[in-house]
Amino acid sequence: MIAMDKQAEAIEGSACAKVILCGEHAVVYGRPAIALPLPMLRARARIEPSHYAFTIFAPDVGAVVSAWRHTRRTRDPLARAALAALDLIGQKPPRATLIVTSDIPVGANLGSGAAVSVAIGRAIAAYFGYPLSAEEASQLAYEVEEIHHGSPSGIDNTVIAHERPVWFVRGRPPELLDSAIGDTLPLVIADTGITTPTRIPVGDVRAAWEREPERMERCFDAIAALVRSSREALERGDLEGLGRAMDANHALLQQLDVSCPELDALCAAARAAGALGAKMSGGGRGGNMIALARDAAHAVALCAALREAGAKRVICRARTVTTGDQPLPDLQI
């Protein structure tokens, strides 16, 4: 999304957060996964003319980056995103200031890094009048994701750049799903408050796969079967079936040793409060879990139960139609 402030001669690009509904970790090994955008949480990049060399400010993390001092292959993620965008559109760093802000918690498995990269790419492209496509934005973000995660699957940058529910298989063109799938799903997201870099559990899974390839492949196949079941349940509006698949997916992720006691406790609390299903979401060892409510009103009740169980942040993703065509707004508690 692009916004222009003509009075200030500034341009802003933004990008949403995401959540993985099912299939994490196995997706790295060629199995499918489903991810949903979280449009209520966004990263923003605002670029405006300056008399000085191109500089990036990220006040949320206390970063000031003199992008012109970096090379194209820098390991600084902010500079890398900006220079990759400039390289794509054939421009040199302008005399401008780029200010990056974000609502998305860092290290919570909600796609903060990819969203920042997409927002930067969109702002810079719009500044030069270049029509950046979703695929180009996704590729820019993937390049930066390699800095954050080492060997990312590509699912985060894909769902964020397209801002649509995505059926994703690594190495294949993404399949964009009906936007209504995400809009009508009464989903609650709860943050453990524990920050673990995704590359750590991803690396541990890789090491386990190298030690025990047959066992790990069986686990990945079982996860893939649940992802397919989840899609079928979504398409026929079977929330109970989706919930069962989510519970089973979490059990398999526990077998991969990527959950943690805090995630397990929040999943148990959600189920005790009547959730149809609950699972960790993302890299694991902290970050977020997701719970499926019966409807929008139950989603609000689940938020309270998860808060009581120790969640540091709870987001209600329910947008179920209530009366007429007016959806229940996204809630952040």
| Domain residue limits, the chain | 2-176, 185-332
Paired sense of beta strands 55-58 and 96-102, if any = parallel
Q: Report pLDDT for 150.
A: 66
- Mean of per-residue pLDDT scores for the chain: 90
- Give residue-wise pLDDT tens across range 73-111: 898 999 999 999 999 999 999 999 999 999 998 878 899
Q: How confident is the model at residue 292 (pLDDT cuts 50, 70, 90)?
A: very high
Please give the structure tokens belonging to residue 44.
């923003």
Q: What pLDDT is attached to residue 3? A: 55
**If pLDDT is split at 50, 70 and 90, which confidence band does 321 have?**
very low
Q: What is the pLDDT of residues 295-305, one digit of tens each?
A: 999 999 999 99
Give the Cα separation of 111 and 21 in Å (integer): 13
318 pLDDT higher than 80: no
pLDDT of residue 325: 33
Look at residue 40 in the predicted model and tell me its pLDDT. 87
pLDDT at 63 over 80: yes
What three-state secondary structure class fits 91?
coil
Token pair listed for 226: 């649940």
- What is the mean pLDDT of the segment spanning 277-284? 95
Query: Is 50 exceeded by the pLDDT of residue 18?
Result: yes
Average pLDDT over residues 201-225: 97
Residues forming the active site: 156
**Which two structure tokens, joined as six digits, stand for 163?**
């801002």
Q: Tell me: the pLDDT tens digits for 127-168? A: 999 999 999 999 999 999 888 766 677 889 999 999 999 999
Q: Is the pTM of this model over 0.85?
A: yes
Q: What is the mean pLDDT of residues 272-287?
A: 96
CA atoms within 13 A on the CB side of 257: 10
| 220 burial type by CB count under 10 A (0-12 exposed, 13-18 middle, 19+ buried) | buried
> CA 259 to CA 266: how far, in whole Å?
11
Give φ, ψ of 242 to 5 degrees. Answer: -65, -45
Residue 147 is predicted with a pLDDT of 81
CATH architecture of 185-332: 2-Layer Sandwich (3.30)
Does the pLDDT value for residue 60 go beyond 80?
A: yes
> Residue 324 has what pLDDT?
31
Measure the CA–CA gap between 167 and 151, rounded to whole angstroms.
Answer: 19
More confident residue, 53 or 326: 53
pLDDT at 2: 57
CATH number of 2-176: 3.30.230.10
154 or 24, greater pLDDT: 24
Model confidence at 24: pLDDT above 90: yes
Task: For residue range 246-262, list pLDDT tens digits in order.
Answer: 999 999 999 999 999 99
